[in-house]
Structure 1
Amino acid sequence: MKTTSLLSLLHISSPALPVGAFAYSQGLEYTLDAGWCKTATDVEQWIESVLRFGIAGVDLPILKRLHLAWQAEDRDAIIHWNDMLLAFRETKELYLEDVQVGAAFKQWHLAQLKDADASSQEEKLEWLDKPSVVAMYALHGVLTEIPVEECLIGFSWAWLENQIAAASKAMPMGQTDGQKIMRRLIPVIDNVVTQAMMLSDEEIGSGLVGLAMSSSLHEHQYSRLFRS
C-alpha cells in the first residue's frame, strides 16, 4: 500500500472528519440510559455484537461492492447497492443518520477535488440522489487508490472509534476503559473484514432486534446528547 493511500485512509477514518458522524450514537445512548448496558464490559459486548452481526453483514460487504462498482464506473451497480444499504436501515433514525452524514460526506468530497477533476466527479456524484456514508467512503477509497480490504478495515475502525466516543460521553466510562475495548476488538475487526470479503450477495443481511429497538426508542428519549 502506497504511503499516500495509507495517509488518505487515516484521513478519511479520522473522527475529526467534518461530516457530523460524531453527533450520532446509533441507539447506544438509549441502551445506556435504559440500563441495558451498565458497565464497560456490557458496552464492549454490545459493540462487538453490532460489529459482528450488523456491520459485518451489511455495511462491509456492500462497501466492497460499491468500491468495485466505483472502480468500474458502473452506475447501475452503484445506485443498486447504495439503495440496498439504505433499505437495510431498520429505523427512521438510522436512515436519516445515513443520508444526512452521507450528504455532508458528499460536500466534503467535492471540496477536496482539484479544479481539473471537479466537473467529472460532480457528474458521478449526481448518480446518487441520497448518497450513503458507505458509498462516499468507497468512492474516496477508489480515488485515492486505497485497496478494497483496507477500506473495510478503515471503515470498521472509524465506526468503532465513534461508538467508544459515544459511550464515553453518555456514561461514566473513562478513556482508559475505552482504549482497552478498542484494543480487544482489533482481532474482531480482522475477523469480520475477512468474513465480509467472502459473503455472497444472498448472504448480505442482519437481524439485530435490540439495535432496532434502541434506535426507535432513542427517537423519543426525553433528554439526549446525540441526534435523532
Structure 2
Amino acid sequence: MAEAPRTQALLRLMAWMSPAFPIGGFAWSGGLERAVHDRLVQDAGELQSWLEALLRHGSFWNDAVLFAVAWRRHQDPEGLAELSELGLALAGSAERNFETLSLGKAFATAAAAWPTPVLERLPADVPFPVSVGAVAAAHGVPLEDALAAYLHGALSQAVSAGIRLGACGQMHGVAILAALEAEIGDVARSACGATLDDLGTAGIQADIASLRHETQHSRLFRS
C-alpha cells in the first residue's frame, strides 16, 4: 500500500475530521450531557479530566484500537465485518450504539466523494472508528497521523458539546485541547501497535451517564 502524497493526505484528514463534514457529529455528546446534568462535570478542569479518562481508559481508547485494526484489515471484507460487529457490541448503551453506527454509516456515505473499493468492502452496519480507519488506509494515509486526527476530532467535538452545555467557555475549551495534545500523541502511538487483546475500558461512570441519558427528559443531544 503506497502512502498518499503528504499534502494530499493532510488535506483529506482535514476534510474528514472537519466539523463541516456531513456526518452529524454535532448531535451527539456520548453521555457528556448527562454527566453535566448530574454535576459530575461542572467546569473546565472537570471536563478536561473527564475527557482524559475517556482517552486513556474509556471509549476513545477502544475506538483507537478498533481504528488501528480496521486500518490494517482494510483489504479484508470478512475481517471488517467481524470487527464491525465487535465494535457495535462494545457500545455501552443503546444511544452509544446508535451514535457510532450513525456516524460510521454517514462517514462512509460522505467519503464516497473520494472513490475507493474499500467502501464496497465495508459492511452496511459499520461503527465510526472502523469506517474511518479502513478508508484512511485505503487512501494510504499513515496510521499514526490518521489516529491522531481522529482522536483530536473526537475530543474537539466533546469540548464543543461541553461549551454548549455550559461546562466551560470557548477560551477554556481551546485550553483543554492544547493541554491534551501530548495525551493524544501518546494514545495514537500506543494504539498503532494495539490488537484486539488491548480492548477494554474502566470508564464506568461515563457508561452509567450514557445509560441515564436515555431517560433524560430535557436534552440538547441524542446521546
Residues 124-151 of structure 1: CA deviation (Å, up to 9, x unaligned): 24xx130111122113212332111111
Aligned to 2:46: 42
The TM-score, its normalising length taken from structure 2, stands at 0.92
Q: Does structure 2 retain, via aligned residues, the 8 Å contact 1:56–1:192?
A: no
Letter of the 2:106 counterpart: A
Distance (Å, rounded) in 2 between the aligned partners of 1:58 and 1:172:
25
Structure 2 stretches lacking a partner, 5+ long: none
Structure 1 stretches lacking a partner, 5+ long: none
Cα offset, 1:56, TM superposition: 5.3
Q: In the alignment, does 2:56 pair up with 1:52?
A: yes
Aligned to 1:213: 208
Pairing partner for 1:178 from 170, 173, 181: 173
Pairing partner for 2:12 from 4, 8, 11: 8
Cα offset, 1:55, TM superposition: 4.2
Aligned to 1:19: 23
Aligned to 2:140: 145
Distance (Å, rounded) in 2 between the aligned partners of 1:216 and 1:140:
30
Cα offset, 1:197, TM superposition: 2.2
Q: Across the two proteins, how many residue pairs are aligned to each other? A: 219
Cα offset, 1:121, TM superposition: 5.2
Q: Which moved more, 1:79-88 or 1:91-100?
A: 79-88
Letter of the 1:25 counterpart: S
Q: Which moved more, 1:161-170 or 1:35-44?
A: 35-44
Aligned to 1:91: 93
Q: In the alignment, does 2:152 pair up with 1:157?
A: yes
Aligned to 2:105: 103
Q: Following superposition, which runs of at least 4 residues in structure 1 exceed 3 angstroms of deviation? A: 120-123
Q: In the alignment, does 2:82 pair up with 1:80?
A: yes
> More helix per residue: 1 or 2?
1
Distance (Å, rounded) in 2 between the aligned partners of 1:200 and 1:124:
21
Cα offset, 1:106, TM superposition: 2.2
Distance (Å, rounded) in 2 between the aligned partners of 1:187 and 1:199:
19
Cα offset, 1:153, TM superposition: 0.5
Letter of the 1:33 counterpart: H
Letter of the 1:65 counterpart: V
Percent identity reads 26
